[in-house]
Each structure stands twice: as structure tokens, then as C-alpha cells.
Amino acid sequence: MDIDFAIVLVSLVAFCGALWLLDALLIKKSRVAAVEDYKRTQAKGRSDEEVAAAIEELSTEPLVIEYAKSFLPVLVIVLILRSFLIEPFQIPTGSMIPTLEVGDFILVNKYAYGVRLPIIGTKIMDVDDPERGEVMVFIPPHENKPYIKRVIGLPGDTVRYEDKNLYINGELIDKEYVEPITVDTSIGGLAGTLFTETINGVEHATQHIDAVGRRRARTTWVIPNGHYFMMGDNRDNSSDSREWGAVPEQDIVGKAVAIWMHKQPGLNLPTFARNQRINQ
């Protein structure tokens, strides 16, 4: 089951904040009243130590209030950092191989494409727009979970992908042969080829399966205003805009900027050997 940490964080902040406010407005007054009543009716004739101990006990906050006040500042800081600055993600699939591998932990700049409110995603401040070649995290049209792909088409672009060649606005995108490789798929390893592709001055690796494979019914897309066409670098093994369409601007999450940790699936220790910036 996928957990929406934004909803969890906002809920925790709201819960702790409500307890803090409840204590400030109501519960604290009852503690102060209890102390005053004790001083007036019971403190006389008792030792200073007994009075001090009794007052401390009467003044003590309930444990849930104490925890709420302790956690609230930390939760607010985490919510601000995660919502508006940097958010971590883990790569669950191989659609961005060879750029990103399964098990990579990446950092996403939430500020790069504008400041958005958590959960609802409404943009409250413009910064920059996505550019071709950048790696972006977003919510796809068909599923309410984060995906990560490379920005291929901008609003108004015409994108064509045919015979393993990419065209943007009629211009063939350069790719250079690197070496033969084996591409892992659901049916096993298949012979493939590693290329270096350059989009908008951004050089990055892509891989293709040598076999012709299935032909897509559609090869050309005109990108609507306010939408972005996304593709995985693992070109023949990626569910992307070629299948479910362009991504609306309001569903952008942020710009992937770096790999900070890698952990192979299963009982394996994390490693920092893949720490690097992501080609943009």
C-alpha cells in the first residue's frame, strides 16, 4: 500500500497544533487554577519541599500535550523542507535505466518549477518552467502516485518517436552509439544498444532493445498548452506519455537533481557509491 507522506505530515502537524492550541486556551488554565487553589487552601502548614513538589505535580502537562509540543516544531520544519524545498524519492522501476537504477534514492527540488501547496499542489509562486532534457517527478494522468521521466516535449511541441528515433518539431534528436548491452525485461535479458542522446544541450544515456518488438499504434503527438510530454531513458521498457498522454502542469512535483543513496532490493545494506548529480 502506498503511503502519502504529505497527507501524513500535514495531519500530524494539524493534530499536534490542535493539542497545543487546546492546552493554551483551556487545559493550561485549569492547571493554573489548581495551583492557585492549592496555595490558598492546602499549602499552609506544609514544608517548602512539600509545597514545591505539589505545585510541580499540579503544573505538569499531560504526556500527550508534552509530546505534541515537543514534536510540533520538528514536524513543521520537515513539512516546510519537504513541501517547498527538497523531497526524497526512491526509484521503484527500471524505466529510467541507465540514468537511474532501481533502488536509487534521489533528491527532488520542489522549488525549481514554482512553490506549490502540499497535498493539493496549487502553485502559489512561479519560478521556472520545465525545459527539454530535464528529469522531472510528476503525477501521471492515469495513476495517483509519483513517476519520474525525462521532459521531451514542451507545450506546443510536436513529438514523433518512430523506428527508435526521436523527433522534436521535425528535427531528429542526435544520438551516438556507445556499446552493445543486455537490457533486462520481464521476459529476461534481451540484446540492446547503449546510446548517448543530446536534448537541448543536455547529454544523457539511453538504451534500446535491438529487436523490433511491438509497434505502437501512434507515433506522433502534439503537446497541448500547459502539458509536458515525458519519456523514460529505457526507451523500449518504459510506461510513459507514449501510452498515457502528456502531463498537466498542475501535476508537476519537482525537478530531480541528485542521487544521494542506493539500496538494492531485499536484505542489502545501502551504499553511497552512486552519489552524483542527475544530468539536466
The residue written with cell numbers 521535425 in the block is 170
Strand order in the sheet with 175-185: 175-185, 188-199, 202-209
Q: What percent of the chain has pLDDT over 70?
A: 97
Q: How far apart are CA 44 and CA 230, in angstroms?
A: 77
The enclosing domain of 238 has a CATH number of 2.10.109.10
Asked if 74 and 104 sit in the same domain, the reply is no
Active site residue 95: yes
Residues 52 and 101 in one domain: no
CA 177 to CA 193: how far, in whole Å?
Answer: 8
Q: Give me the pLDDT at residue 213, please.
A: 60
Q: Could you tell me which residues come within 8 angstroms of residue 220 by beta carbon, excluding any fewer than 6 positions away?
A: 158, 159, 160, 162
Cα gap 252→261, rounded to integer Å: 23
Residue-level pLDDT at 233? 97
Preceding amide of 98 cis, omega within 30: yes
Asked if 107 and 203 sit in the same domain, the reply is: yes
Report the pLDDT value the prediction gives residue 228, as an integer from 0 to 100.
Answer: 98
Sorted by sequence, the CB contacts under 8 Å of residue 181 that are 6+ apart come out as 192, 193, 194, 207
Q: How far is CA 260 from the centre of its chain?
A: 14
Please report the pLDDT score of residue 215 as a whole number: 65
Same domain as 253, residue 146: yes
Predicted local confidence at residue 2, as pLDDT: 59
Tell which of 41, 57, 82 closes a domain.
Answer: 82
Q: Are residues 65 and 98 in the same domain?
A: no
SS3 6: helix
CA dist., res. 255 & res. 138, Å (int): 9
CB 99 within 8 A of CB 205: yes
Alpha-carbon distance of 98 to 95, in angstroms, equals 9
My answer on whether 49 and 186 are in the same domain is: no
Q: How far apart are CA 204 and CA 237, in angstroms?
A: 17
The pLDDT assigned to 280 comes to: 65
Please indicate, yes or no, whether residues 102 and 12 belong to a single structural domain of this protein. Answer: no
Q: Which domain holds residue 49?
A: 5-82
Tell which of 65, 82, 99 closes a domain. Answer: 82
Residues 74 and 181 in one domain: no
Which residue is catalytic, options 110, 149, 175, 255?
A: 149
Q: For residues 101 and 76, state if they share a domain.
A: no
Reported in sequence order, the residue ranges of 186-231 that DSSP labels E, i.e. its strands, are 188-199, 202-209, 220-222, 227-231
pLDDT tens digits, residue range 156-203? 999 999 989 999 999 999 999 999 999 988 788 899 999 999 999 889
**Contact partners, residue 170, CB within 8 Å, separation at least 6:** 158, 160
The one catalytic residue in 28, 30, 39, 95 is 95
Per the rule left: phi > 0, alpha: psi between -120 and 50, beta: everything else, 132 is beta
Low-confidence ranges of the chain (pLDDT < 50): 1
Pairing of the two strands 202-209 and 188-199: antiparallel
Which phi-psi region, left, alpha or beta, contains residue 200 (left: φ > 0; alpha: ψ -120 to 50)?
left
Specify whether 118 is located in the same domain as 196: yes
- pLDDT on residue 1: 44
Cell representation of residue 56: 510541580
As given in the structure block, the three cell numbers for residue 38 are 492549592
Asked whether residue 142 falls in the same domain as residue 243, the answer is yes
- Which among 31, 59, 82 is the end of a domain? 82
Q: Are residues 192 and 95 in the same domain?
A: yes
Known catalytic residue: 83? no
The structural domain count of the chain equals: 2
d(CA 278, CA 276): 6
